[in-house]
Amino acid sequence: MKAKGHVFIVDDDAEIRLHLGNLLRHVGYSVSDFGSAKEFLATDENLEASVLVLDMRMPIMSGLDLQKSLRAKGSDIPIIYISGESRSQEIIDAMKDGAIDFLWKPFSHTQLVEAIEKGLNIDAQHHKSRKHYKHVEAMYETLSRREKSIFALMLLGHGNKDIAAKLSVMPDTVKKYRAQVFEKMQVANLPALLDLCKGFELPADID
């Protein structure tokens, strides 16, 4: 039977890791547990399609330190904090940096499972977005240098005449390049292009 999703548990308390691991496996999740933040960072396990259940207070490297390290590496794994004692500022900092929930020990099994389901749904959306942007980026890379310039100006809301003036070309030339951009980006018109490229970050070195 396929697992409902994967959960990473990072807590320096072995009893808590054992209890949570058994509980989550019983309700259908696959689980990996770690006794420290550094141990987790050393793993080569795939972090996609997963949630991290993380203790806030741990020796040497705290939960917040681990969260910052993961974000610096580009990981957007959903994080659920568990803690018996935490300062309000720690909680604020964790949530500002993208943690999705905070559970006070002792918490109910229902609270934990609900938070994990929320996290897995968020992670699925992250995965869908990453896949979409990779597809957009792949199409973008097929554009010529001139097409990329016109593509960027189109996304910024410039019309044909404005683009022609900025690039010192004739408006008819812009029309030709626009048509090529639409074809290569696999869209029929400008509204479709704008919708496709929502959230797409243009390279800093674009002309």
Per-residue pLDDT of the chain (207 residues; tens, 9 = 90+): 667 899 999 999 999 999 999 999 999 999 999 999 999 999 888 877 799 999 998 999 999 999 999 999 988 999 999 988 767 888 888 888 889 999 998 899 999 999 999 999 999 888 888 889 889 999 999 999 999 999 999 999 999 999 999 999 999 999 999 999 999 999 999 999 999 998 888 765 555
Find where tokens 């080569």 sit. Answer: 44
CB half-sphere exposure, 117, CA atoms < 13 A = 8
Please indicate, yes or no, whether residues 171 and 120 belong to a single structural domain of this protein: no
Residue that terminates a domain, selected from 130, 165, 184: 130
88 falls within a domain: yes
Q: Within a 10 A sphere around the Cβ of 100, how many other Cβ atoms?
A: 19
For residue 84, the model assigns a pLDDT of 81
**What's the pLDDT score for residue 114?**
96
Residue 203 lies in a domain: no
Look at residues 81, 106, 130 and tell me which one is the last residue of a structural domain.
130
Residue 99 structure tokens = 């943690």
User: From edge to edge, which strands make up the β-sheet containing 50-55?
Assistant: 30-34, 6-10, 50-55, 79-83, 101-104
Residues in the chain: 207
* Among candidate residues 79, 96, 130, the one where a domain is terminated: 130
Give the CATH number for residue 184.
1.10.10.10
Ramachandran area for residue 7 (φ above 0: left; ψ -120 to 50: alpha; else beta): beta
Domain extent, residue 37, equals 6-130
3-state secondary structure of 83: strand
Residue 58 lies in a domain: yes
pLDDT of residue 100: 95
Tell me how many domains the chain contains.
Answer: 2
The first and second tokens of residue 174, run together, are 């812009």
132: left (phi over 0), alpha (psi -120 to 50) or beta: alpha
Q: Which residues contact 15 (CB under 8 A, 6 or more apart)?
A: none
Which residues sit opposite 40 in a β-bridge? none
Tell me, yes or no, whether 29 and 99 share the same domain. Answer: yes
In a domain, 52, yes or no: yes
Give the pLDDT confidence score for residue 162 in this predicted structure: 94
Burial 37-62 (b: 16+ CB within 10 A, else e): beebeeeeeebeebbbbbbbbbeebb
Q: Would you say residue 192 lies in a domain? A: yes
Tell whether 118 and 176 lie within a shared domain. Answer: no
